[in-house]
A and B are shown apart, each in its own frame.
Chain A
Amino acid sequence: MSVKESWEPKIIGFCCNWCSYAGADLAGTSRMNYPASIRVIRVPCSGRVNPQFIARAFQLGADGVLVAGCHPGDCHYSTGNYFTRRRMLLLTRFLEYLGVDPDRFEVRWISGSEGQKFADTVREFTERVRALGPSPKKRDAS
């Protein structure tokens, strides 16, 4: 009972260094407020994100996972995010099979100039995850 009340969603974010991490930095320099739910892991490219990392996050009780990369066509490495797009589409379908609500998973394209979009994304995604409640993994533990 008390767990539920004090519960704040915890979201793991994978941000590519060139666009989305820079976008998150811009949200910071522009002092945009957004929920403290997100913890960002910096990767060179969204194409570096192995679905294994996401599965592990859910396995360890993350309430949500966000993968953010450059807009298609704008990848710093030319093509990395095209692979991400296909790979993450597949993963979304696969999550159900793993027993994870696909609504806990989000892929967004956020450029280095879209600080606002980063802040909005975190805000919206946090609310969505909050509505879903704590990760089943956590609920089982408590």
Chain B
Amino acid sequence: MKRIGVFVCHCGSNIAGTVDIERVVEAARAMPNVVYVEDNKYTCSEPGQEAIKQAIKEHNLNRVVVAACSPRMHETTFRRAVAGAGLNPYLLEIANIREHCSWVHPDKEGGTPKAIDLVRRAVIKVAGNVPLDRGRIPVTKRALVIGGGIAGIQAALDIADAGHEVVLLEREPSIGGRMAQLDKTFPTLDCSACILTPKMVEAANHPNITLMTYCEVEKVDGFIGNFSVTLRKKARYVDMDTCTGCGICWGKCPGKASSEFEVGLAKRTAIYVPFPQAVPNKPVIDRENCFFFKTGRCKICQRFCPTGAIDFEQEDELVTEEFGAIVVATGFDIMDKDVYGEYGYGQYPDVITSLEFERLVNASGPTEGKVKRPSDGKIPQRVVFIQCVGSRDENKGVPYCSRICCMYTAKHAILVHEKIPGAQTYIFYIDVRAGGKNYEEFYKRAQSEHEAQYIRGRVAKIYPKGDSLVVVGEDTLLGEKVEIEADLVVLATAVLARQDAGEVARTLGISYDGYGFFTEAHAKLAPVETNTAGIFLAGMCQGPKDIPDTVAQASGAAAKVAALLSKEVLETEPLVAQCDEVKCSGCFWCKPICPYKAIEEKEIEERVGRRTVKRKVASVNTGVCKGCGACTVACRTGAMNLLGYTNDQLLSEVEALCL
């Protein structure tokens, strides 16, 4: 005997304002199996939940419908409340009469009948609900952090400090990421290397962290608590155990290539460490530029290596490791140089990007920190900075704000003024966005103490004149054209998602937005989780952000991982597929449609007349099944069903709504 209780929420005036609660309550009383109806001001509040628990006990309810906000909001809350009264939490259904009704239909005439229909749907559905129990799966107490920039390093350190084993994976030869390329950091002007390199070394030396550089993720299988990840260890052609990092090899190497770390402003050898403070400080051979790999002759590095660490026979190696959680911290790219032809990037050597400028002012950079123009090595006296090159530009770039450019340009202006006596800086901007602790003050300081001249407007073009460049733009505040002769022009190019972000997302099974940034589970309330349980996000791969925000998010992701790994077993959702073995014909059409390979073939014995026959039927691995229901539609005999969304229930919902 089903005894259903219906609880209609006013949500203050959020629902009651546009839905006639009294009519809904009256209608609910007449619905099948409904024995109790009540309305509450706020059902989700403590007294509201208490009222549900009390009614369950007093009226001996065995099914509950809550007509309130979206189940995506409070389903868990109400399941807990129902469980608090001793009822199975899955004997609850929610009628979404707020997001899907009261908030979108402004009049009671439209909203009320619809709310009644939605309640009826829930009442009919809940009658078909059965008690379900959560499964329990063991947790592998290890984490994988993908990306060895500041986000990955911070996340790895925090997880390791919580006592869990971490593998920190980096596809470049060294950890450090973008932050290692930077000079000073705003708004404190801390030297980037001074605050980053100690963390890099700490990560390398931490007993709980295993560093895997020059490695990539090849394949990810499994699920929360039980990921099985195949990693590609790219051939370094240098044996990590015997190499001491003495540096003789890269001193002798005749191969030359443009340095990625120096953004093309300097050359590196074919056997190289990306930068002097690299961790691990051991080289790799870049196959494309190595004379031996190109011509079959050279091997100078091998000849001079005192420990015999060079191994030209090395090949990529695939290893599979088990993890309980994954943090994705893959960072960002910068907009391609040649999008803005009118700024002459690539054509005029003295038009550079901000990242190139970082290397120019950096003491460890190609000019040893002296700001020299790339064309003739002259010290520039007039430097023009152009903001929003690609950012906030729907025509040629991306519509979003890159969030870091305003602040690092203020920093650049300060650095120019400090390093070059008498130098003048000009900054073309659209708006100055200095939202952050001490940011506005920093920007004001650039203006007042360091005489940066801010000009509001876009630059139309740049052309050469003698050995300088003329920047033609508009001052929109004065409403006039401005022309500035400059020695050096720096473009604040947009922050972009990694070019291969889509591929990475597909490998991991997480989602990404139209720009390629990975999508968090909830923009406000779940900013480090993804929709795939057990996979978390940190840093720029989720969207543009500065170093403080990146570090904060990385620590947030680490806290989530630590909480997950502190459990011995995880409880799983019981809303999974189930096979009715009697109906199953063993066609296995369900197998290829399952994205999680959760369906296995199982042999059963059956009595047919007087004989016992063996046949194969489908069997669902409930630890792997995520409850998408794809198999249920593929099933030709109707043997496959999805608990919580059974065929009968969905058909009954259709019927309830078509009444």
Chains A and B form a bound pair: yes
What A residues does B654 contact at CB under 8 A? Answer: 12, 41, 53, 56-57, 60, 62
The yes or no answer to B282 lying at the interface (CB within 8 A) is: no
Give the contacts of B582-602 with A (CB-CB under 8 A).
593, 595-596
- Mostly, the B contact residues are helix
A28-B70, A56-B654 as given contacts; A39 in contact with B118, CB under 8 Å: yes
What B residues does A34 contact at CB under 8 A? Answer: 104-105
Q: How far is the CA of A39 from the CA of B595 in the complex (A)?
A: 29
What B residues does A39 contact at CB under 8 A? Answer: 114, 117-118, 121, 657
The yes or no answer to A42 lying at the interface (CB within 8 A) is: yes
Residue from A10, A17, A36, A61 within 8 A of B111 (CB atoms): A36
Q: Is there contact, CB below 8 Å, between A45 and B629? A: yes
What A residues does B121 contact at CB under 8 A? Answer: 39, 41
Give the contacts of A56-95 with B (CB-CB under 8 A).
56-57, 60-62, 74, 76-80, 83, 87
Q: Is there contact, CB below 8 Å, between B658 and A77? A: no
Q: How far is the CB of B170 from chain A (nearest CB, A)?
A: 27
Q: Nearest B residue to A16 by beta-carbon distance? A: B628
Q: Nearest B residue to A63 by beta-carbon distance? A: B658
Q: Is there contact, CB below 8 Å, between B70 and A45? A: no
Q: Is there contact, CB below 8 Å, between B653 and A41? A: yes
Residue from A36, A53, A62, A76 within 8 A of B650 (CB atoms): A53
What A residues does B627 contact at CB under 8 A? Answer: 44
Residue from B71, B511, B531 within 8 A of A42 (CB atoms): B71
Residue from B72, B506, B650 within 8 A of A17 (CB atoms): B72
What A residues does B110 contact at CB under 8 A? Answer: 35-36
What B residues does A61 contact at CB under 8 A? Answer: 658
* Most chain A C-beta atoms within 10 Å of own C-beta, residue among B105, B117, B121, B633: B633
* Most chain A C-beta atoms within 10 Å of own C-beta, residue among B99, B111, B626, B630: B630
The yes or no answer to A98 lying at the interface (CB within 8 A) is: no
Proximity string of chain B (77-110) to chain A, C-beta cutoff 8 Å, 1 when within and 0 when not: 0000000000000000000101111011110001
Q: Is there contact, CB below 8 Å, between B647 and A44? A: no
Q: Is there contact, CB below 8 Å, between A12 and B104? A: no
Q: Is there contact, CB below 8 Å, between B642 and A44? A: yes
Give the contacts of B44-87 with A (CB-CB under 8 A).
70-73
Give the contacts of B497-527 with A (CB-CB under 8 A).
506, 509, 511, 513
A28-B104, A40-B96 as given contacts; A83 in contact with B651, CB under 8 Å: no
The yes or no answer to B368 lying at the interface (CB within 8 A) is: no
Q: How far is the CA of A36 from the CA of B634 in the complex (A)?
A: 33
Q: Is there contact, CB below 8 Å, between A43 and B650? A: yes
Q: Nearest A residue to B629 by beta-carbon distance? A: A48
Q: How far is the CB of B113 from chain A (nearest CB, A)?
A: 7
Q: How far is the CA of A41 from the CA of B506 in the complex (A)?
A: 28
Q: Nearest A residue to B626 by beta-carbon distance? A: A77
What A residues does B651 contact at CB under 8 A? Answer: 52-53, 56
The yes or no answer to A119 lying at the interface (CB within 8 A) is: yes
Q: How far is the CA of A79 from the CA of B296 in the complex (A)?
A: 46
Q: How far is the CA of A79 from the CA of B509 in the complex (A)?
A: 10
What B residues does A27 contact at CB under 8 A? Answer: 99, 104
Q: Is there contact, CB below 8 Å, between B630 and A45? A: yes
Q: Is there contact, CB below 8 Å, between B100 and A24? A: yes
Residue from A47, A53, A87 within 8 A of B628 (CB atoms): A47
Q: Is there contact, CB below 8 Å, between B658 and A10? A: yes
Residue from B118, B647, B658 within 8 A of A57 (CB atoms): B658
Q: Nearest A residue to B105 by beta-carbon distance? A: A36
Q: How far is the CB of A89 from chain B (nearest CB, A)?
A: 14
* Most chain B C-beta atoms within 10 Å of own C-beta, residue among A31, A78, A83: A78
Q: How far is the CA of A93 from the CA of B72 in the complex (A)?
A: 34
Q: Nearest B residue to A112 by beta-carbon distance? A: B519
Q: Nearest A residue to B98 by beta-carbon distance? A: A28
Q: Is there contact, CB below 8 Å, between B595 and A80? A: yes
Residue from A32, A41, A49, A77 within 8 A of B104 (CB atoms): A32
The yes or no answer to B645 lying at the interface (CB within 8 A) is: yes
The yes or no answer to B407 lying at the interface (CB within 8 A) is: no
Q: How far is the CA of A56 from the CA of B655 in the complex (A)?
A: 8
Q: Is there contact, CB below 8 Å, between A43 and B629? A: yes
What B residues does A44 contact at CB under 8 A? Answer: 575, 627-629, 642, 645
Q: Is there contact, CB below 8 Å, between A78 and B595? A: yes
What A residues does B281 contact at CB under 8 A? Answer: none
Q: How far is the CA of A80 from the CA of B593 in the complex (A)?
A: 8
Q: Is there contact, CB below 8 Å, between A25 and B113? A: no
14 contacts between A and B (CB under 8 A): A10-B657, A12-B654, A24-B100, A25-B73, A28-B70, A31-B104, A33-B104, A33-B105, A47-B593, A57-B658, A77-B595, A77-B626, A80-B595, A80-B629
Residues on A facing B (Cβ under 8 Å): 10, 12, 17-18, 21-22, 24-25, 27-29, 31-36, 39-45, 47-53, 56-57, 60-62, 74, 76-80, 83, 87, 113, 119
Q: Which 8 A-B pairs have the closest CB atoms?
A: A28-B99, A48-B629, A36-B110, A60-B658, A77-B628, A28-B103, A25-B99, A45-B628
Residues on B facing A (Cβ under 8 Å): 70-73, 96, 98-101, 103-106, 110-111, 113-114, 117-118, 121, 506, 509, 511, 513, 531, 575, 593, 595-596, 626-630, 632-634, 642, 645, 647, 650-651, 653-655, 657-658
